[in-house]
Amino acid sequence: MTRTRSPRSRSKRRPSRGLRPLLGWAVKLGLVGLVVLAGFAVYLDAVVQEKFSGKRWTVPAKVYARPLELFVGQKLAKDDFLKEVDALGYRRETAVDGPGGVSVAGNTIELHSRGFQFYEGNEPSQRVRVRFSGDYVAALSQANGSNLAVARLEPMLIGGLYPAHQEDRVLIKLDQVPPYLIETLVAVEDREFFNHFGVSPKSVARAIWVNASAGQVRQGGSTLTQQLVKNFYLTNERSLTRKATEAMMAVLLELHYDKREILEAYLNEVFLGQDGQRAVHGFGLASQYFFSQPLSELKLHQVALLVGMVKGPTFYNPRRNPERALERRNLVLDVLAEQGVASAEEVETAKQRPLGVTQRGSMANSSFPAFLDLVKRQLREDYREEDLTEEGLRIFTSFDPILQLKAESALSDSLKRLSGRKGVDEVEAGMVVTNPETGEVQAMIGSRQPRFAGFNRAIDAVRPIGSLIKPAIYLTALERPSQYTLTSFLEDEPFSVKGQDGQVWRPQNYDRKAHGTIYLYQGLVHSYNLSTAKLGLELGVPTVLKTLDRMGVSRQWPAYPSMLLGAGALSPLDVAGMYQTLANGGFNTPLRGIRSVLTAEGQPLGRYPYQIQQRFDAGAIYLLQNAMQRTMREGTGRSVYNQLPASLALAGKTGTSNDSRDSWFAGFGQDVLAVVWLGRDDNGPTPLTGATGALQVWTDFMRKADPLPLDMPMPDNVVQAWINPTTGQGSDPSCPGAVQMPYIRGSEPAAGQACGIQAPVDSVMDWVRGWLD
Amino acid sequence: MAKWLIPVLTASMVLGGCASVPRGSIPVVDSGTSASELQDGGSAGYASAAPQASMQSAPEDSGVVVMVPGGSSAPIQTFPASGAGGGIANQQPLTFGSGSDVPAAPSSGTFTAPSMPSQPSGIPSGGGLAADEQLDGPVLALLTSAQQLQGSGDLNGAASSLERAQRIAPREPQVLYRLAEVRLAQGDAAQAEQFARRGLSYASGRPALQASLWDLIAQARERQGDPAGAAQAREQARVNL
C-alpha cells in the first residue's frame, strides 16, 4: 500500500505535462470507474432482490383475549358488552354501516361484526342484533330477524412476543387498504410516484428550489421508492454516498418490481410510532395501535392523520402532541382538496372530526403484563423463540378483559380504603382469577401497579399460605366417613408435640383462646388452629400432604407438624390450582391460559385441550364445600355478606401467616374463583390479616364480577339429615331448632323422634329454612 | 523517473482501489448494520419454513399433562354407596355405619353380573341419547358443528368446538358425553373416561344418558386394558337403562 500511495502523490504533483496524455488518462480512468460502478450496481441488485423476494418481514406472535360469546341466556351486562365493543374499535353509529359499526337503542344493540379465523373455523362477518335484559342476553338474532344461536366477536389483541429489535407490524395486502389511503399518500409524499422510475428529477429540482429559497432543508426530494429503500435496506445516515446508493437501489427496485408491490411494501415498512420498547411499523399496526380498528375500516380523517404522521411519527404523535397532529392532519386534508383527491365537502366534514385515537387507560389501550407473562412462559415451553417472535403466530387465550379490569379496580379501590392503616402503602399484591368450570385463567395481577411489567407476584411470590391449607386437612378427614363427619366432635384445647428434631411444637389460636369441644366443621369455619392441628396429627402429616398433592400442589414439603398450619409456601397461581380442585367437584385440572395456536395463515398449529382428572370423591367435596360456605356465612369470611347479597352462595378460606406477613384469601362461586395475596416484598409484617386485607379485595372483586351462586349437584352418596344443633344427635324436621346437615350416606346420625304435631306451620317453615340454609 | 512508470502506478492504484471496493463501499455494507441484520432476519425467515412444519407435526398433547399422584390409574368411586357394586378400587374405601345399606337409587347393585355381549368399540354415533334430551340453541348449534368437523375427520376441530360448548354450558352432560366420545376417537381413553365421569355427576335423573355415559366408560376402560372395570361399567349401563 505504501508503494501505491507515494506514486499517487507524485502523479498529483505533475498536473500539467501536456493536455493530451491527461485526457487519455481521464478516459481510461472513466472506463475503470464505469466498470467499478457496474460491479457495484450488480452487487446492489443482488442485495435489492435478495431481500425483496420471499419473506420480507418477521412478525411477532400476536396474543388475543378470549372472544366474547353471544347467546341467549348468557350472563353479560350491557355496559360490560359496550365496554368491550368500544375497545374493539367499533364505531357508534345511528344506523350500522358496514363491519365495525354498532348502534345502541335502549337495551337493543345492533352491530356488524368483522369476522375472524378461529381454531374451530371461520366466524363470519355478520349483522347481529342483541337485546339485553338485566344482566343477561335476552335475545339474539341476525339483523334481518333470522335465527342466530350463537355468535362471537373478534378477540381483542392484548399483546405480542417481540424479538430483540422489537419491530412490530400487522401485515396488510394492497386490497385491504381503505379508500383514499393510496391517493393521500401519493399526494402528500410523492406526487410523481406512478410516473417516475424510482427517482424523480422533477421532485429533486423542486426540493432544491424550495430549500434554496428557504435557506434551509425544508423538503426532501425522496420518492416513496427511495423512502422504502432507505428504511428497508439502509440506515438513517445522511451523506451523499448513501444518497447515491439509495437512488441506485430505488432504480433497481423499480426495474424488478411493479408499483403495486413497491407500494404494498412501503405501507408495511413505514415507521409510524414508538410504543415503549416496541416500534410501530406499517399502516396495519398503526391503525390498530391508534384507533383499535382494522385498516380497511378507516375513514378519510383517520387516513389523513396516519399519512400526515409519516413525516414525523414522534413529532406528530396524536396522543402526545394532539394539537400538532390535528394541524398536520388538516393540512393533509387541504392538500387532498387542492389536488382534487377528495371533494371540498368531504374534506370539510373530515376536518370537523376529532382525532379519534383511543385513550390511554381504556380497555383497548392497556397492557396486561402479568397475564402475558403467564402466556409467554407456557409458550416458551412448547415453541422455539424464533417461531414465537418471527412467524406471526396467533395465540388464543382465555384472558377476559372485563374480569381483569374489575379485578384491577377492586384491588386499587380496596387498597385505597385500607390506606389509612399504617404500613399498607408498602403492601404489594398478587391476584389470580380462574373459571373453575373450565380450568381457564381469566385474569391476573402481578403488582399493585397492574400496568407495571416486572416481578409477577401472581406466579413468583411464593409465600407461606397459613390457614389456606386447612381445607386439605378437613378433606382428608371427610374422606373417611366412618371416622369423621361434619358434626364429629373435636377438642380445641392446647397441646404440644415433640417433633423429630426434638423441638416442641405448641400451636395457638389466633385469639389465644381454647374453644373446648366443637363440631368438626366449626374448626374450619372459625379457622381454629388447635383443633385443626390436632385433627391433622390424628390423620398424619404425610397423609395430609398427600391430599395436597392430589389437589394439585406439587411441592416437596417436609412432613413437619407446622405444615398443618400453613408453614409451606405457595404462589397465588398454585393456590388457584389447589382450590380449583375443590371448586370443580374434586376434579383436578391443570390451569390453562392458552386455548390454541394458529399460524399466520390461519392454519391450526397447537391446542391446549381441557383435561380433567377425578382426584376426590364428590361426596367428600360436597361436605367440604358446605363447610367452606359456612365459613362465609358464619365464620372468618362472614364480612363478605356486608357487601354481597345473601342469595349468593360462596365458599372460601382466609389465610394469615405469622405476624401477618401474608394476607391471603381464596374462594369461589360457581363460575369464578379468585385468589388474592397481599404482603410485602421484603417479607415484613403488615397490618392486614387474611380477613382484613385480602378478603376485602376479594369481596370487592366478587361484587363487581357478580358470579353465579355455588351450586354443586348433591352426589348420590350424600344425604341430608336433620340434627339437633346442640347435641349433634339425629332430629326431625318437626322439632324446633332442628337443622339440616349433609352426610355421606350411612354416616348420618339415626333419625330422631318427631316432636309431635304441636306447630305444623313452624315445622314447615323450619323445613323450608333448612333447605334455604 | 521514467514516464512509463506513471500509468503503471496509476493503474495499480486504481486496481488496488477496485480490489477493496467491497470493503470501501461503506454506505451499503459497513454502515448498513441494520440492513444486514434485517437480511439475517430475512434469511432466518426462509429457513424457518422447515421448523414450522416440525411444529405442525407436534401433537396437541404438547400442552398439558395431567399428573397422576401415586401413579394409580384406579378411578375414584363416584357412587360409593353401591359398595362393591362398582367394584372399583378406592384409595380410601368408604365404610359406612352399621348395616345401613340404603341403596343409591340409580346405581343400586345387582351383584350378579351377567356377561354383557361386548359392544363394538367404535365411536358411538350419539344414538345413545334419548330423544327427550332437550338442548337449547347455542349448545345444539355447537354440538352440530362438532359433529360435522368430526365427520370430516377433523377431531381436533371437533374437540375444540365441544370445549367451546362446554364453556357455554359447563354443566350440560351431553356436551361432556360428546367430549368423551371425541377424546376416545382421538385415542385418549383415560381422558374419555374422566369426561364421561364428569358427565355422570351432572346426569342425575337422566337414566338414558347415564347408561350412555357408563357405556362410554366401559369402552374407555377396555381401551385402557381394564376388562374387569369395563364389565362393571357395562353392568352400570345396563342397570341404568
Could you list the residue range(s) of the whole structural domain that residue A147 is in?
67-154
Is the pLDDT at B57 greater than 60, yes or no?
no
Do residues A135 and A165 both lie within one domain?
no
Number of domains in chain A: 3
The pLDDT tens digits of the residues spanning A647-663 come to 999 999 999 998 899 99
State the CB neighbour count (10 A cutoff) for residue B107.
24
Q: Which of A32-36, A604-608, B25-29 has the lowest mean pLDDT?
A: B25-29
Q: Give the end of a domain, one of A363, A398, A414.
A: A363
Higher per-residue confidence, A601 vs A538: A538
Do residues A126 and A188 both lie within one domain?
no
The pLDDT tens digits of the residues spanning A162-201 come to 776 678 888 899 998 999 999 999 999 888 898 888 888 7
Give the pLDDT of residue A217: 54
Residue A655 within any structural domain of the chain: no
Do residues A81 and A199 both lie within one domain?
no
Instruction: State chain B's mean pLDDT as an integer.
Output: 62
The pLDDT tens digits of the residues spanning A326-353 come to 999 999 999 999 999 999 999 999 999 9
Rounded to whole angstroms, the Cα distance separating A532 from A125 reads: 58
Alpha-carbon gap: B146 to the closest alpha carbon of chain A (Å): 9
Alpha-carbon gap: B119 to the closest alpha carbon of chain A (Å): 25
CATH label of the domain that carries residue A86? 3.30.2060.10
Pick from A80, A760, A13, A6: nearest CA to A401: A80
Residue A223 within any structural domain of the chain: yes
**Grid coordinates given for B209:** 344418558
Closest alpha carbon within chain B to A248: B28
Is the pLDDT at B117 greater than 50, yes or no?
no
Mean pLDDT, residues A529-539: 96
Rounded to whole angstroms, the Cα distance separating A400 from A442 reads: 5
Q: Is A467 a catalytic residue?
A: yes
Q: If you write DSSP's letter for every residue of A710-738 in order, what string do you get? A: P-PPPPTTEEEEEE-TTT--B--TTSTT-
Q: Is A189 a catalytic residue?
A: yes
Closest alpha carbon within chain B to A621: B78
Do residues A81 and A133 both lie within one domain?
yes
Residues of A in contact with B80 (CB under 8 A): 617, 619, 717, 744-745
Residue A527 within any structural domain of the chain: no
Do residues A313 and A194 both lie within one domain?
yes
Give the pLDDT of residue B8: 52
Is the pLDDT at B42 greater than 90, yes or no?
no
Q: Hey, are the CB atoms on A71 and B138 less than 8 Å from each other? A: yes
The pLDDT tens digits of the residues spanning A80-105 come to 999 999 999 999 999 998 899 999 99
Is the pLDDT at A566 greater than 60, yes or no?
yes
What pTM did the predictor assign? 0.80
Do residues A218 and A352 both lie within one domain?
yes
Residue A28 within any structural domain of the chain: no
Q: Is B67 exposed, middle or buried (0-12, 13-18, 19+ CB in 10 A)?
A: middle
Residue of B6, B31, B78 lying closest to A237 (CB–CB)? B31
Q: Give the end of a domain, one of A127, A154, A181.
A: A154
Q: Hey, are the CB atoms on B201 and A382 less than 8 Å from each other? A: no
Do residues A196 and A304 both lie within one domain?
yes
Residue A24 within any structural domain of the chain: no
Indicate which of B40, B78, B147, B214 best probes the interface with A, i.e. most A CBs within 10 Å of its own CB.
B78
The pLDDT tens digits of the residues spanning A452-479 come to 888 999 999 999 999 999 999 999 999 9
Phi, psi at A505, each rounded to 5°: -105, 125
Do residues A136 and A239 both lie within one domain?
no
Rounded to whole angstroms, the Cα distance separating A486 from A628 reads: 11
Do residues A131 and A232 both lie within one domain?
no
Is the pLDDT at A247 greater than 60, yes or no?
yes
Q: Hey, are the CB atoms on B194 and A607 less than 8 Å from each other? A: no
ipTM of predicted assembly, 2 dp: 0.85
Query: Crossing angle, helix B5-19 and helix A19-52, to 10 degrees?
Result: 10
Closest alpha carbon within chain B to A550: B69
Do residues A239 and A354 both lie within one domain?
yes
Compute CA distances A129 → A72, A103, A104, A113, A406, whole Å: 11, 10, 10, 10, 26
Percentage of chain B beyond pLDDT 70 is 44
Q: Hey, are the CB atoms on A245 and B27 less than 8 Å from each other? A: yes
Instruction: State chain A's mean pLDDT as an integer.
Output: 90
Q: Hey, are the CB atoms on B137 and A71 less than 8 Å from each other? A: yes
Q: Give the end of a domain, one of A154, A181, A206.
A: A154
Residue A441 within any structural domain of the chain: no
Is the pLDDT at B21 greater than 50, yes or no?
no
Percentage of chain A beyond pLDDT 70 is 93
Do residues A174 and A145 both lie within one domain?
no
Catalytic residue among A222, A467, A663, A763: A467
Residues of A in contact with B105 (CB under 8 A): 716
Q: Which of A180-194, A239-253, A292-306 has the lowest mean pLDDT?
A: A239-253
Measured between alpha carbons, how far apart are the two ends of chain B, in Å?
A: 118
Of the ranges A468-482, A591-605, B45-59, the best mean pLDDT one:
A468-482
Give the pLDDT of residue A16: 53
**Grid coordinates given for A19:** 493536455
Residue A19 within any structural domain of the chain: no
Spatial contact of A429 and A438, defined as CB atoms under 8 Å apart? no
Q: Which of A142-156, A582-596, A603-617, B10-24 has the lowest mean pLDDT?
A: B10-24
Do residues A352 and A270 both lie within one domain?
yes
Alpha-carbon gap: B125 to the closest alpha carbon of chain A (Å): 21
CATH label of the domain that carries residue A275? 1.10.3810.10
Residue A410 within any structural domain of the chain: no
Is the pLDDT at A630 greater than 50, yes or no?
yes
